[in-house]
A = this chain, B = another copy of it.
């Protein structure tokens, strides 16, 4: 290990097939329900952490520019968790680059905090296995716990810091995820605020949490059998249920835009045409269409036809977080 070194980690966003929405503990980020996701192979976040004993405070760049105060506070709060675990106190310089749009419901906080967890843990000398790293990443963003692993992973909600972590799960299904970017502007309501508001005000929230238990069991079963149709049906119904809880919040939170519904209508049309395609949406208007890899072109064609101004991307299952240590220049 060189004396002065930086650690760079790369992590990918994940798309939840059974959603995480709502926290039991806001401070430690303990979800109310288990969730299950697939990590993508596109839109990675690359984050480099240098520990800087001589600095006064943490500093953060975002895509090469100084980050705003809110982002810096969130990163410092996360680094404080790492520093406490490592028994250290030095500030760090953090440089992060997102290949995809930020805060647009494309899981930039999942890839972001997974990459930060990986790079900060190594930079401060924490030795963590995958589960330990997922537990740490969860402190930044619940969904980040899942991006620690490649392929499919399950985030156990647990009840406290120790019992709340992700682990990889076996799945026999080969799928493509077509991302239809119906809007890439940062969202006006953060996932964090929207979750809290839903838990506190939506009369439908707890029924959805309850139905999610069945969805999770059915999803694990369908993934194990390689049954893409079942995987898609469960993912779509679980996502629509989550958005339903938000629509019923008081006042409503609606991430679905007119273009989102155009894409959903297109997916329904594909199914009527015999193509197994299923949609899922997170805290943003973008639509992710689950399909067989051989049908991805057909799905992209639908999106181009119905939403000619919206870019698309085709993702497959991607890798977990990777970390490399570099001597400082």
A interface with B by C-beta (< 8 Å): 203-204, 206-208, 210-211, 233, 236-237, 240-241, 243-245, 247-248, 250-252, 254, 256-262, 264-265
Contact A252 B240 (CB under 8 A): yes
Contact B254 A264 (CB under 8 A): yes
User: A204-B245, A207-B207, A248-B241 are known contacts. Are A261 and B258 too (CB-CB below 8 A)?
Assistant: yes
The chain B residue sitting closest to A210, CB to CB, is: B203
Contact B265 A258 (CB under 8 A): yes
Interface majority SS on A: helix, strand, loop or mixed?
A: helix
Contact A204 B258 (CB under 8 A): no
Contact A248 B203 (CB under 8 A): no
Instruction: List chain B residues, Cβ under 8 A from A257.
Output: 261, 265
How many identical subunits does the complex contain?
2
A-B contact pairs, 30 of them (CB 8 A): A203-B208, A203-B211, A203-B241, A204-B204, A204-B208, A204-B211, A204-B241, A204-B244, A206-B207, A208-B248, A233-B251, A236-B252, A237-B248, A237-B250, A237-B251, A240-B247, A240-B252, A241-B248, A243-B247, A244-B244, A244-B248, A247-B247, A254-B261, A254-B264, A258-B258, A258-B259, A258-B261, A258-B262, A260-B261, A261-B261
Instruction: List chain B residues, Cβ under 8 A from A211.
Output: 203-204, 248
Contacts beyond the supplied A240-B247, A244-B247: 14 A-B pairs with Cβ under 8 Å: A204-B204, A204-B245, A206-B207, A207-B207, A208-B248, A233-B251, A236-B252, A237-B251, A240-B248, A241-B247, A244-B245, A244-B248, A258-B258, A258-B265
